[in-house]
Amino acid sequence: MPHTQMDSTPSTLPEPRLRPHYYWMLQLIGWGGYGVVGMAIQLMFYGMQWRNLALVLCNVIVLLLLTHGLRHIAKTRKWTSLSFGKLALRLLPATLLLSLISQLIASALLVWVFDLLGSQRFSFAILGIYIFQTQVILVCWSLIYFAFHAFRNRQIEQIEKWRLQAALKEAELSALKAQINPHFIFNCLNNIRALVLENPEKSREMI
């Protein structure tokens, strides 16, 4: 009787993957919404001034690129597998640095490209407030990003657990199949047949 190998259950389980276009779609939706709110505020207080709107758009593009860079660093250095404490020790200085870079670029555009400062003097205090506000936004972005990955890692752990359980069940099934194999039964019967003549009591126990 030929032994047929059953397909392994673990190989049929899907492997969760984050498709890149989902990431970019969420990035564009999130930062696009942030830009729309910023432009609405500019229109409300300053009216239809294209330089103000262009500055908001440039700021959105800079933040999109900086958060993409943060994601690249997090993936390269495997930040998604860190504990919350270790992750916070890396995220806080990283988001502060990115906020500083973002607002320095915005200040350069404000003063030298769009010339929106006018007769007003540049204020480092206001720059500090904008840096803090930007860091809060980047921390919120990071919390959403890493919370998603924590949930995804949890799903992967559950799938791996199911795979191990399925492999264990398959090993037990294979052991049972080996025990009821016709060759095994034939050998047992043959031994009992030989033992009947020599030791009837022992053969009865074997049966």
User: Which pLDDT score is estimated for 90?
Assistant: 95
Element (H or E) spanning 117, and its range?
none
Give the residue with greater pLDDT, 200 vs 118. 200
User: Which pLDDT score is estimated for 177?
Assistant: 77
Burial call 69-92: b when 16+ CB within 10 Å, e when fewer = ebbeebeeeebbebeeeebeeebe
> Residue 23 class from Cβ within 10 Å (0-12 exposed, 13-18 middle, 19+ buried)?
middle
For the chain, the C-alpha Rg in angstroms (whole number) is: 33
Phi, psi (degrees; rounded to nearest 5) at 164: -65, -40
Instruction: Tell whether the model's pLDDT for residue 4 goes beyond 60.
Output: no
Instruction: Tell whether the model's pLDDT for residue 122 goes beyond 90.
Output: no
Instruction: Tell whether the model's pLDDT for residue 60 goes beyond 90.
Output: yes
- On average, the pLDDT of the chain sits at 85
Element (H or E) spanning 10, and its range?
none
12 — pLDDT class (breaks 50, 70, 90): very low
User: Which pLDDT score is estimated for 17?
Assistant: 52
Query: pLDDT tens digits, residue range 70-93?
Result: 999 999 999 988 999 999 999 999
Query: pLDDT tens digits, residue range 130-149?
Result: 999 999 999 999 999 999 88
User: Which pLDDT score is estimated for 19?
Assistant: 66
CA distance 10 to 39: 51
Instruction: Tell whether the model's pLDDT for residue 1 goes beyond 70.
Output: no
Instruction: Tell whether the model's pLDDT for residue 97 goes beyond 90.
Output: yes
